[in-house]
Amino acid sequence: MKILMVLTSHDKMGDTGHKTGFWLEEFTAPYYAFADAGCDITLASPAGGQPPVDPNSDAEDAQTDTTRRFKEDASAQDKLSHTLVLDTVRAADYDAIFYPGGHGPLWDLTQNADSIRLIQEFLLQDKPVGAVCHAPAVLLKTQYPDGTPVLEGIKVTGFTNTEEETVGLTKVVPFLLEDALKKRGANYQKTGDFKPFYVRDGLVITGQNPASSETTARALLRALRGESEDEDD
pLDDT tens profile 10-36:
999 999 999 999 999 999 999 999 999
Is the confidence at residue 158, as pLDDT, over 70?
Answer: yes
Q: Which helix (H) or strand (E) holds 180?
A: helix 177-183
How far apart CA 175 and CA 179 sit, in angstroms, is: 8
Q: Is the dihedral of CA 106, 210, 197, 95 positive or negative?
A: positive
How far apart CA 161 and CA 128 sit, in angstroms, is: 26
Question: Residue 233: its pLDDT value, please?
Answer: 43
Q: What pTM does this model have?
A: 0.97
Is the confidence at residue 196, as pLDDT, over 80?
Answer: yes
Taking residue 190's Cβ as centre, other Cβ atoms within 10 Å add up to 19
161 contacts: CB under 8 Å, gap ≥ 6: 170, 176, 178, 179
Note whether 130 and 96 are within 8 A (CB). Answer: yes
Tell me the pLDDT of the chain averaged across its residues: 96
Residue ranges per structural domain of the chain: 2-224
Residue 195's identity, in one-letter code, is: K
Q: Is the dihedral of CA 125, 142, 21, 51 positive or negative?
A: positive
- Cα–Cα distance list, 130 to 77, 139, 199 (Å): 22, 10, 10
How far apart CA 28 and CA 34 sit, in angstroms, is: 10
Quick one: CATH architecture of 2-224? Answer: 3-Layer(aba) Sandwich (3.40)
For residue 113, name the pLDDT band (cuts at 50, 70, 90): very high
How far apart CA 137 and CA 105 sit, in angstroms, is: 7
Helices (H), the chain: 24-36, 65-71, 74-81, 104-107, 113-124, 161-166, 177-183, 213-224
- The torsion defined by the Cα of 120, 124, 125 and 131, in degrees rounded to 10, comes to 40
Q: Is 92 exposed, middle or buried (0-12, 13-18, 19+ CB in 10 A)?
A: exposed
For residue 232, name the pLDDT band (cuts at 50, 70, 90): very low
Query: Quick one: average pLDDT of 179-188?
Result: 98
Query: Quick one: average pLDDT of 111-115?
Result: 98
Is the confidence at residue 146, as pLDDT, over 80?
Answer: yes
- Cα–Cα distance list, 12 to 8, 9, 23, 115 (Å): 11, 10, 13, 20
Q: 129 pairs with which residues across the strands? A: 97, 204
Pairing of strands 129-132, 84-85: unpaired
